């Protein structure tokens, strides 16, 4: 899910350099309080919706736990996705509403952890025990989903084949239904 800073500043020609500098200034204490970002895609639906604002807090990447929602920098974009796992290659994220695991990111590419969501007049505090538990359950479902999709890919071919796309959609829907049910209960 792409996020954009809530600002009226004009576009900077080299967005990647700008975002890296902004991230470093924020981490170094150049700004106070959580960073506020506006959600602009549906890759984390139903938890995050286009138009929501997320509050992001800097964090030591080693303190992150699977199931937490974080913002990472990928090229010239900041992406808000859920942490699935950490291994020797880096931190692996996945959008709740996507079929593919993201490429791993390094500690330097982690902007921060999402601590709250503002949707209209409602604030969802992701630090509350209920939301932490939901995040862990969603993470378990996503890990199973990614394993099943990887097995299907081995059987059905590449991401670009029509057979694979149909198979992926068929495999994906029960997992998406489970995620939606977790969000409502």
The answer to whether residues 86 and 29 touch, using CB atoms and an 8 Å cutoff, is no
pLDDT tens-digit series, residues 35-90:
999 999 999 998 999 999 999 999 999 999 999 999 999 988 999 999 999 999 99
Tokens 């068929």 sit on residue: 170
Confidence class of residue 29 from pLDDT cuts 50, 70 and 90? low
pLDDT, residue 11, reads: 41
**Residue 173: pLDDT above 80?**
no
pLDDT at 91 over 50: yes
Residue 61 in tokens = 């990447």
In the chain, count of helices (H) and strands (E)? Answer: 3, 8
Residue 83 to residue 92: CA distance in whole angstroms: 6
C-alpha to C-alpha distance for 48 and 39, rounded to whole angstroms = 7
Tell me the three state secondary structure of residue 141. Answer: helix
**Whether residue 74 is found in the same domain as residue 154:** no
Work out the average pLDDT over 130-147. 91
Predicted local confidence at residue 75, as pLDDT:
86
Is the pTM here over 0.85, yes or no?
no
**How large a percentage of the chain has pLDDT more than 90?**
50
First to last CA, the chain: 24
The three-class DSSP label of residue 92 is strand
CATH of the domain at 109: 2.10.109.10
Both 96 and 40 in one domain: the answer is yes
Of 109, 126, 143, the position where a domain reaches its end is 126
What is the 8-class DSSP label of residue 105?
B
Q: What tokens does 86 get?
A: 């950490």
**Do 134 and 85 sit in the same domain of this protein?**
no
pLDDT of residue 26: 66
pLDDT in tens, 102-132: 999 999 999 999 999 999 999 999 999 999 9
Contacts of 38 (CB under 8 A, 6+ apart): 3, 4, 5, 6, 51, 52, 53
Place of tokens 């792409």: 2
61 vs 19: which has the higher pLDDT: 61
Q: CB neighbours of 2 closer than 8 A, spacing ≥ 6? A: 39, 40, 41, 43, 77, 78, 79, 80
Task: Indicate whether 10 and 98 sit together in one domain.
Answer: yes
Q: Which domain holds residue 13?
A: 2-126
- On the question of pLDDT at 34 being above 80, the answer is yes
- 61/136 same-domain check: no
Q: What are phi and psi of 40, to 5 degrees?
A: -125, 0
Buried b vs exposed e over 43-56: b needs ≥16 C-beta within 10 Å? Answer: bbbebbeeebbbbb
Mean pLDDT of all residues belonging to the chain: 83
């Amino acid at each position: 899910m792409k996020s954009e800073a809530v600002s009226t500043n004009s576009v900077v020609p080299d967005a990647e350099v700008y975002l890296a500098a902004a991230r470093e200034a924020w981490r170094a204490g150049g700004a106070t309080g959580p960073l506020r970002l506006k959600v602009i895609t549906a890759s984390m639906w139903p938890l995050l919706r286009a138009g929501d604002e997320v509050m992001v807090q800097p964090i030591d990447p080693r303190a992150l736990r699977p199931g937490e929602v974080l913002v990472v920098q990928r090229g010239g974009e900041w992406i808000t996705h859920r942490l699935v796992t950490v291994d020797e290659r880096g931190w692996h994220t996945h959008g709740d509403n996507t079929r593919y695991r993201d490429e791993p990111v390094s500690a330097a590419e982690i902007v921060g952890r999402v601590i709250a969501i503002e949707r209209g007049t409602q604030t969802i505090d992701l630090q509350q025990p209920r939301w932490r538990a939901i995040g862990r359950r969603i993470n378990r479902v996503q890990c199973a989903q990614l394993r099943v999709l990887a097995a299907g890919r081995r059987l059905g071919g590449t991401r670009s084949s029509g057979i694979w796309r149909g198979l992926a959609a068929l495999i994906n829907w029960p997992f998406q239904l489970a995620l939606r049910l977790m969000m409502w209960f």
